[in-house]
């Protein structure tokens, strides 16, 4: 998808749903003094600065806006160029890589995750959230019929996740599942890999 058609705008309900993912992330990872990548970070940089204020360094990656640096935040627009992503982000440096509500949008998430895992320190983790299969009809109803969440983002979903999907993904990237669970009444998933 090119940037002209790319939209990651959230309405109030989208933001409410996203707040649950943030809560799960904060429950599972300590950001204080850490070097972190947030892949698919969106474009609310004020919010990102607040979320990651305790980090030593945050590298935020998406495909909106131009590259910039501000305090501990380094934003990279990778513009779907995986070579650029690999070149611009330092290897063996990051403690945590975060992808919240991202992998379901990727045709081949293992390709990006294989690039990103090279950026992790030895005991680093990848923190993922993705909607579960149970959420598919509900999200589609909210997006297509009621039009109360971002329809474009729901149409972009390539798959939904459960433990079996994460097991397949973990094999493709040669990492182990450290933790997996459902949240939001089974509508969403958390998976931590290392």
pLDDT in tens, the chain (194 residues): 333 344 456 678 777 888 899 999 999 999 999 999 999 998 888 889 999 999 999 999 999 889 999 999 999 999 999 999 999 999 999 999 999 999 999 999 999 999 999 999 999 999 999 999 999 999 999 999 999 998 999 999 999 999 999 999 999 999 999 999 999 999 999 999 99
Q: Which residues pair with 141 in a beta bridge?
A: none
- CATH number at 116 reads 3.40.50.150
When divided into structural domains, the chain yields a total of: 1
Torsion angle, CA of 153/28/15/186, rounded to 10 degrees? 70
Q: Which long-range contacts (CB under 8 A, 24 or more apart) does 45-52 make?
A: 45/70, 45/73, 45/75, 48/73, 49/73, 51/22
Which residue range(s) make up the domain with 119? 3-193
């Amino acid at each position: 998808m090119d940037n002209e058609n790319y939209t990651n705008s959230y309405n109030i309900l989208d933001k409410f749903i996203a707040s649950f993912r943030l809560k799960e992330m904060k429950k599972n990872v300590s950001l204080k003094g850490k070097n972190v990548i947030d892949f698919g970070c969106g474009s609310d940089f004020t919010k990102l600065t607040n979320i990651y204020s305790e980090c030593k360094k945050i590298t935020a990656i998406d495909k909106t806006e131009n590259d910039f640096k501000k305090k501990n935040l380094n934003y990279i627009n990778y513009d779907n160029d995986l070579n650029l992503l690999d070149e611009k982000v330092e290897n063996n440096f990051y403690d945590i890589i975060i992808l919240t509500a991202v992998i379901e949008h990727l045709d081949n998430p293992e390709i990006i995750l294989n690039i990103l895992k090279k950026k992790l320190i030895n005991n680093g983790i990848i923190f993922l959230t993705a909607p579960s299969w149970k959420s598919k009809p509900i999200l589609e109803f909210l997006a297509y019929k009621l039009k109360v969440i971002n329809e474009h983002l729901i149409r972009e979903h390539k798959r939904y996740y459960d433990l079996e999907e994460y097991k397949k993904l973990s094999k493709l990237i040669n990492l182990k599942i450290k933790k997996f669970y459902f949240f939001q009444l089974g509508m969403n998933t958390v998976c931590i890999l290392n």
